[in-house]
Amino acid sequence: MKKLAILGSTGNVGTQVLDVVDKYPEKFKIIALSTNGNVELLKKQIEKYQPLYVGVADTEKAEILKKEISIPVFSGEENNIQIAKLEEYDTLINSVVSLAGIDATLVAIERKKNVALANKETLVSAGEIVMRKAKENGVQIMPIDSEHSALFQCLNGEDIKTVHQLVITCSGGALRDKTKEEIENASVEDALGHKTWSMGKKITIDSATLMNKGFEVIEAMWLYDMPIEKIKVVIHPESIIHSMVEYSDASIIAQLSDPDMRLPIQYALSYPERWDAPIKRFDFSKNLTFKEPDLERFPCLGLAFWAAKDLGTLPAVMNATNDFMVGKFLDGECKILDIYETIKKVMESHKNVKNPKLEDIKNAINWAREEAKNIFK
């Protein structure tokens, strides 16, 4: 029986993790759950799964919850770190959508816990440190998102030296078929209208700008020790092929399935076993199409390749600025193109620190947030 600590259990990924737990209740024990502020859903999860601990980032809501339940409640910004420090679990599922996920991942690795990772910021901002620590501690990081799960499966059993390139597929997001002018004037509702995936608001906006795909490129570099020159992004509107690996002999191995996060989640938890399908079987009457991404209409992807080439603290700066600006866009305070313009200005003014320590990354993140605020004003 796997003992799980789920960070972000009330979010889009976290609730789907619990769907997998519901399908195989005899295989899992829930040790801890955490939420940013959705305490009502968390209370339902507590009643159903009987965790030993919970965490709530919102301190006021945490204090109210403490009076209503008998188990320990960790609160504030440190709540996920406190959960990661626990001894009772063996697998940390990190599905929080923020830079706060970095410390929790590192704490789990230091305690030699397995990590199932859906928090993109961990590898985008601190991939070099995280993967080095994982190797030192003999910890396996299993990707939860569909693209990296696909790459893991396509690489499994193959000689990494024979890889010609990793091909990361991309639906193109909600604005895929819009003109440049239509994208520039897109409303929040337009950008949230994803055609194939159901995700949280922040990630859906990142998909609309293709910044999310840029994050995945950087993640793939660290997960599979692959230079940026060997990673390619391809638009695949149907979202059936989740990624591919092309080898030196021109053979291409792909992983296909209907777009449903429960499959990569289940595989991350069941590996090396394969359990019964949590999703419907593929319909082979469907057509599959591909095209190159248009960096003129979606320039954020170009920024990610720039950050991936320069590395150092630049990816963290890009990530933090994007985090800030997506929040402004969701609040209706800017246009979607302002996300790109602000990230570009912050990256251009950043003094990049190569081979950074964790302190350098945190300083870069804080600097980027302040710089973004000043530019936004």
pLDDT band at 196 (very low <50, low <70, confident <90, very high): low
Residue percentage of the chain with pLDDT more than 90? 92
Its CATH architecture, for the domain 148-259+285-376, is: Orthogonal Bundle (1.10)
pLDDT band at 200 (very low <50, low <70, confident <90, very high): confident
What was the pLDDT predicted at 195?
64
d(CA 34, CA 11): 10
Query: Strand pairing of 241-247 and 252-256?
Result: antiparallel
Mean pLDDT computed over 296-304: 97
Match domain 2-143 to its CATH number in 3.40.50.1220, 3.40.630.150, 3.60.21.10, 3.40.50.720. 3.40.50.720
Query: Strand pairing of 231-235 and 141-143?
Result: unpaired
**Statement: residue 377 has pLDDT above 90:** no
Residue found under tokens 């080439």:
309
Q: Is 33 helix (H, G, I), strand (E, B) or coil?
A: strand
62-96 residues labelled b (16+ CB within 10 A) or e (exposed) = beebeeeeeeebbbeeebbbbbbebeebbbbbbbb
Question: What stretch(es) of the chain map to CATH 3.40.50.720?
Answer: 2-143
Sign of CA dihedral 150, 154, 155, 160: negative
Query: Edge-to-edge strands of the sheet including 163-170?
Result: 231-235, 163-170, 241-247, 252-256
* DSSP letter string, 344-362: HHHHHH----SS--HHHHH
**Statement: residue 197 has pLDDT above 70:** no
List, in sequence order, the alpha helices (H) in 74-145.
Answer: 79-84, 101-110, 120-136
- The residue among 311, 318, 340, 167 whose CA lies nearest residue 241 is 167
d(CA 257, CA 282): 6
Question: What stretch(es) of the chain map to CATH 1.10.1740.10?
Answer: 148-259+285-376
More reliable by pLDDT, 217 or 286: 217
Q: Which of 80-84, 176-180, 195-199 has the lowest mean pLDDT?
A: 195-199
- Work out the mean pLDDT of the chain and round it to a whole number: 95
Mean pLDDT computed over 176-193: 94
